[in-house]
Structure 1
Amino acid sequence: MWMGTFFAMAAGLMWGLVFVSPLLLPEYPAALQSFGRYLAFGLIALPLAWLDRARLRELTRADWTEALKLALVGNLLYYLCLAGAIQRAGGPLPTMIIGTLPVVIAVISNRRNAWRDGRLPWARLAPSLALIGCGIALVNQAELAQLRADPEADPGRYALGALLAVFAVACWTWYPIRNADWLRAHPDRSPRSWATAQGVATLVPALLGYAGFWLWSGASGSDFAMPFGPQPLRFVALMFTIGLFASWLGTLCWNEASQRLPTAIAGQLIVFETLAALSYAFLLRGAPPPPTTLAGIALLVAGVMWALRVRPERVAA
């Protein structure tokens, strides 16, 4: 439990970095940032795959198919939605919507994986759901107040950002549950090798997506400077930094946690990502969060801590 929690915390601290790139590169389309990040991830995974080639040979065609599915939904589609949400609604609101993942995953896993991990009593989960819902409402209220105070703000753009964040939650609810299924079904396999396999599986779709975006940009007459945009050094450095730390090393730490913890509990520990992302977002703003936002963050943390106190109960086979 302690080692699993440590690995989940390390993954969350590194995953929080993915919320930084859309704020540092606001002029870069979300699609380019998604393809760029996972193209970097795939390129980083290639030499790692060569070093780990003996273990990767043990993977079957079905394993590689699963790695490809996880890469498409949990990597490319998730980050496409998340980057688009942050660019439209800013950092805090999408971060708080993503912050619902711990309870969403716990609720779904509670029914789906009860036979394997045990069932969390619904009556004891209800207070954590209420606390997290209130926390999101408070942060949303603070962000809407800031939006109303800005004469150049676009409420429609803000709403679209919130909707994209909801789609990102759907993608990353599916990903850790399916990823944990594979890891728990293969306790003899290396979490490091599985992280590398997902990087290799991501490479071709990311390369095709990047090339497709380049062709579309040229055909549509866009003045965006391809292939690396108006800030090429910053873009490439950010993509490889996030590809190494958030994608490969973060996935490795999460795989280690998923192999040690019940899915319902591991899912709740994604709160570390939310807290890290909020910290990074307000550091970039250069201003402390308002009291309403702080209260919302406190409720989110309290809700997840409440949920962590709930222990699964074994059910009959």
Structure 2
Amino acid sequence: MGSTPKNVLAALTAALLWAFAFVAPAAVRPASELLLVTGRYSLFGLCGLWVLWRGRRQLRLIPVRRIVFGLWIGFVGYFVFYICVSYSATMDSGFITAVVVGSSPITIAVAGNFAEKRMSWRELVAPVILILIGLGLLSVSDLIQGEGRDGAGDSILAILLALGAMLTWSYFVVRNAQSQRTWETKPDPTLWAGLVAMGAGGASMVLLPFAIASTPPETFEPYPLFKIVAWCVFLGVIASWWGTLIWVKAAQGIPVPLVGPLLATETIFGAVLSLPVENRLPTGAEVTGALFVLAGIAVYLFFDVKNSRLRARSTDGGDGSRATASEMAAPT
């Protein structure tokens, strides 16, 4: 994976795998959202536990505070994030959930600009406005389609949950990047993925018995049971664990300005995949709102790439090293 084209292809593969998280909640009905989340991340956590056991000698060299931090961001960035995504997608629309969560590059940009100024605040105005217009169109369209007051209430709560997922994921990305920039010695990518997996898996294993007990009885009939087990295995082992490893390794050879566009493709994949599951075509307002969101992301990326090139030119006299996206690895 030495060349950028191969790394980009690998990162796109990871983004496609993660995008299935947006359609799984509707696909496993009548299983509860909590059962899907706890089942998925219990398997993800077991993968992490196996890796940490194999690398226990290296693990002992990592300070306890960093181990705790890895577990914490795994809990917040995976478990809490997907709780919000699952309930949002099943209460309303996987398409809208995917698009709202996909606006997180702007949230990351604002939070990241406070921590490490990458562009002027004036340059952030246009992308933020475009994103807000897009979210407004999606929200209004969804409320209009809601059936009565209960439908409208569900739509509002679903959008709030999607916004919660967006903020949670943004926190994960920014804190993960900040922490790794301040460490003199970065942990092995596989071990770090194992810690993150255990953070998500630990909470899931605790709640799994409750999730099973609160699941509708019809879920345990042969076909629904097969569906939920198959989706948990796919999301937990292939999408979460394998996708995480692909991203972490690929990100080591990807320039930082490419991180945003690659992460944004997860949203596009998720929105497209959700439509066949919901057995419908997107409405005009949804398409327009999504285009505004993507336009906002594109404008932000334009300024970010421009500023990155200016910074690179100003530091040409240095050691010639080039930052990569390894410290920004933040899959969902």
Which of 1, 8, 12 is the equivalent residue of 2:15?
12
**Partners in 1 of 2:28 and 2:149 — Cα distance?**
20
Partner of 1:197: 195
Displacement after TM superposition at 1:269 (Å): 4.3
Aligned equivalents of 1:276, 1:54: Cα separation in 2: 39
Q: Which residue of 1 aligns with 2:121?
A: 122
Measured after TM superposition, the shift of residue 67 of structure 1 is 1.6
Unaligned runs of 5+ in 1: none
Assess if the C-alpha contact under 8 Å between 1:92 and 1:139 holds in 2: no
Residue of structure 1 in register with 2:134 after alignment: 135
The amino acid of 1:190's aligned partner reads D
- Who is 1:224 aligned against? 216
In 2, are the aligned partners of 1:106 and 1:267 still within 8 Å (CA)?
A: no
Tell me the TM-score normalized by structure 2.
0.79
d(CA) in 1 for partners of 2:256, 2:116: 8
Matches within 5 A, 1:1-317: 2=4, 8-53=11-56, 55-114=58-117, 119-147=118-146, 150=147, 154-184=151-181, 185=183, 188-214=186-212, 217=213, 224-225=216-217, 229-230=220-221, 231-256=224-249, 266=259, 269-310=262-303, 311-312=307-308
Q: Closer, same or farther in 2 for the Cα pair 1:169/1:223, shift >3 Å?
A: closer
State how far apart, in whole Å, the 1-side matches of 2:105 and 2:97 are.
15
Aligned pair in 2 of structure 1 residues 266, 110: CA closer, same or farther (>3 Å)? farther
CA 1:263/1:187 → structure 2, altered by over 3 Å: closer, same or farther?
farther
CA positional deviation for 1:240: 1.1
Secondary structure at the aligned position of 2:62 is classed as coil
* Greater shift in the superposed pair: 86-95 or 131-140: 131-140
Whether the 8 Å CA contact 2:127–2:297 is kept in 1: the answer is: yes
* Contact 1:106-1:265 within 8 A present in 2 as well: no
Identical residues among aligned pairs (%): 26
**CA 1:82–1:177 in 2, change beyond 3 Å: closer, same or farther?**
same
Q: How far 1:104 moved relative to its partner?
A: 0.3
CA 1:33 to 1:186, structure 2 compared with 1: closer, same or farther past 3 Å?
farther
Alpha carbon RMSD of aligned pairs, Å? 3.1
Unaligned regions of 5+ residues in structure 2, if any?
315-332
The answer to whether the 8 A contact 2:33-2:87 is kept is yes
Q: Which amino acid aligns with 1:59?
A: I
Contact 1:74 1:171 in 2 (8 A): yes
SS at match of 2:31: coil
Q: What is the CA deviation profile of residues 145-194 of structure 1, one whole-angstrom value per residue up to 9, with x for unaligned ones?
A: 332xx579622122111121122122111111122234333664332331
Contact 1:105/1:268, CA 8 A, preserved across alignment: no
- CA distance in 2 between partners of 1:68 and 1:5 (Å): 28
Distance 1:128 1:12 in 2: 23
